[in-house]
Structure 1
Amino acid sequence: MIHVENLHFGYPKKPTLFSELNWEAPEGTIIGLLGKNGAGKSSFLRILSGILFPLDGAVTVNGFVPRKRQSQFLQELFLVPDESYLHSGLTSLGYEKITSPFYPRFDSARFRKLLDTFEVGPTVRVKDLSFGQQKKVVLAFALSSGCSLILMDEPTNGLDISSKAAFRKELVSVIREDQTVILATHLIKDLENTLDRVVILDQGKIKLDAALSDLADGYYFGTAAQAPREAIYVQSTALGVQYIEPRKSQAQSSINLEMLFQGVVNGADFSEAFHSSKLANL
């Protein structure tokens, strides 16, 4: 579905953001794009959607070049930005009426059901909605769009705890097997139980790209008074340490994405024991 080859991108008078970045993503996965603030997550989504243009390299999505913004490409892609863009005078149903004709597989019944689930009044004007409620309108539309690729930038930003839980549940339940969703976030805990795959972006490179099932097979995430000698990453806690080590005879453990992220950005080497991960600079 997505093919990125030797991507080079940066903003004028600022350091280069991406240099020789390579990545591929199959259809039918929910992918977490993780990175620190300023790592380029939002810019990467905008490049995939054709809003920003590479300085060099090639990007294709569903066989289309995003920068050309062809109608066949756009009707299969929906981007949820971090900021609100809804017109203040619109209602949720007004937004649906204006926007849904651009998406051939849009499901109106699902949209209205999701508005109800997210507790957003369909006839309340945007100007009377909080930022979090406006975000829920756009999230409901994205999940109802039927698009083969849905890009979400910080989707849980502005949502309260119950809304985050409702979003996670609906995301997993309504996405079809042939749809791909990319969730760019630094709020890792909010989404770790919804992901099929995790991609960690740091210093202009994709440092790790791995299926969570492979991570669970390849590594053990543990807690102890002292870390074992085989640990490849260790962090202190009030009661001892948390650690990651290559999995041998242990039962599968739950994946701690926050610890995984910290390990990757702090240089932990996942390549020796986990050959199915895709590391930068290979």
Structure 2
Amino acid sequence: MVTIHNLHFSYRRRPVFTGLDLELQPGQIYGLLGRNGTGKSTLLRNIAGFLFPQKGEIDAFGFTPGKRQPAFLAKYFHVPEDFQLPDVPLARWIQYMSPFYPDFNQGQFEHYTREFTIPTFGHLQELSYGQQKKVLISLALATNAPLLLMDEPTNGLDIHSKSQFRKIIAGALDDRKCILISTHQVKDLENLIDNVTILEEGKILFHQSMNRIAEKLLFKLSVDPDEAARALHAESSLKGQAVILPNLEGEDSRPDLEMLYKAVLLNGKTINAFFS
């Protein structure tokens, strides 16, 4: 669906990407993790065609995003971290926006707004920031665009709304859609994503499916000091040591995204060696 090859991008003299490669497949939810300022938003904007690579190629559905062709624009929806909705009634805004997306479904939009408990009367500017974000996410999903790019979509949402977000996103995926979600709030994506991509200083440090992570790495609590000493990563907890170990016996465990993220940042080469 999206192929990025040898991407180079800089802001004036500050390089962000120098030879980045990445592939995104349909039917998958990708979690793009990384600290603030490491290039997550820049990558999404390059894929959307808002920014233009100095070198390398981005292919999305056979289009070059930077050319901004109408046929490409109808195939993706970008939910930015910062946005400004117009001061018009919500219903009128949907009338303006929906014709740009041939697969837009009004019934789906109404379903998502009900799930998010958004008032659908009145002007958009009368809604809180969190409600406006949920309106934007509802529109993104109702367009049925094959590619959804979401930049820090859970910022501004309360705990209940974050839970609603995970439920709605999981239910909206099908085998022709690809969803790329960037965040530095790692816990917000647990139990949602199919693939983890960790970005640091403009480089992809880690890119694996959740199934393969569970196959190769064992996440557990341990009270054995020797086991903790052998761990690829260990953290103190009230019940002992939370550890990541090589999954040599094929045991079942649930990957802890926050632990994995820290482990990759601290010791990425060792972690990646188990996926070679």
Tell me the TM-score normalised to structure 2 length: 0.95
Unmatched 5+ stretches in structure 1: 276-282
Aligned counterpart in structure 1 of residue 213 of structure 2, from 207, 212, 215: 215
**Shift in Å at residue 67 of structure 1?**
0.2
Q: Aligned partners of 1:84, 1:157: CA distance in 2, in Å?
A: 12
- Matched length: 273
**Shift in Å at residue 136 of structure 1?**
0.3
Map 1:36-55 onto structure 2 (within 5 A). Answer: 36-55=35-54
Map 1:91-110 onto structure 2 (within 5 A). Answer: 91-110=89-108
Aligned match of 1:198: 196
Map 1:263-274 onto structure 2 (within 5 A). Answer: 263-268=263-268, 269-274=270-275
Map 1:112-131 onto structure 2 (within 5 A). Answer: 112-131=110-129
Query: Structure 1 residue 27 and structure 2 residue 26: aligned?
Result: yes
Say which SS state the counterpart of residue 111 (structure 2) adopts: helix
Identity %, equivalent residues: 37
**Shift in Å at residue 105 of structure 1?**
0.3
Q: Aligned partners of 1:263, 1:255: CA distance in 2, in Å?
A: 12
Say which SS state the counterpart of residue 107 (structure 2) adopts: helix
Say which SS state the counterpart of residue 272 (structure 2) adopts: coil
**Shift in Å at residue 235 of structure 1?**
2.4
Q: Aligned in 2, Cα 1:147/1:27: closer, same or farther, shift over 3 Å?
A: same
Q: Aligned partners of 1:271, 1:39: CA distance in 2, in Å?
A: 20
Aligned match of 1:280: none
Aligned match of 1:140: 138
Say which SS state the counterpart of residue 172 (structure 1) adopts: helix
Tell me the TM-score normalised to structure 1 length: 0.93
Q: Aligned in 2, Cα 1:42/1:182: closer, same or farther, shift over 3 Å?
A: same
Say which SS state the counterpart of residue 183 (structure 1) adopts: strand
Aligned counterpart in structure 1 of residue 161 of structure 2, from 160, 163, 166: 163
Map 1:233-248 onto structure 2 (within 5 A). Answer: 233-248=233-248
Contact 1:230 1:246 in 2 (8 A): no
Unmatched 5+ stretches in structure 2: none
Say which SS state the counterpart of residue 271 (structure 2) adopts: coil
Say which SS state the counterpart of residue 242 (structure 1) adopts: strand
Contact 1:143 1:175 in 2 (8 A): no
Say which SS state the counterpart of residue 231 (structure 2) adopts: coil
The superposition leaves residues 223-280 of structure 1 with CA deviations (integer Å, 9 ceiling, x where unpaired) of 22334454212223344322111102252111100110111111241233223xxxxx
Contact 1:17 1:40 in 2 (8 A): yes
Q: Aligned partners of 1:250, 1:23: CA distance in 2, in Å?
A: 28
**Shift in Å at residue 85 of structure 1?**
2.0
**Shift in Å at residue 217 of structure 1?**
0.8
Contact 1:235 1:242 in 2 (8 A): yes
Q: Aligned partners of 2:118, 2:99: CA distance in 1, in Å?
A: 22
Query: Structure 1 residue 231 and structure 2 residue 239: aligned?
Result: no
Aligned match of 1:8: 8
Aligned match of 2:71: 72
Residue type of the partner of 1:57?
A: G
Q: Aligned partners of 1:107, 1:95: CA distance in 2, in Å?
A: 15
Say which SS state the counterpart of residue 6 (structure 1) adopts: strand
Q: Aligned partners of 1:94, 1:175: CA distance in 2, in Å?
A: 27
Q: Aligned partners of 1:123, 1:84: CA distance in 2, in Å?
A: 20
The superposition leaves residues 57-84 of structure 1 with CA deviations (integer Å, 9 ceiling, x where unpaired) of 1111111100000011000000000112
Contact 2:152 2:181 in 1 (8 A): yes
Aligned match of 2:257: 257
Contact 1:84 1:131 in 2 (8 A): no
Q: Aligned partners of 1:237, 1:203: CA distance in 2, in Å?
A: 30
Q: Aligned partners of 1:63, 1:28: CA distance in 2, in Å?
A: 18
Residue type of the partner of 1:270?
A: I
Q: Aligned partners of 1:174, 1:57: CA distance in 2, in Å?
A: 32
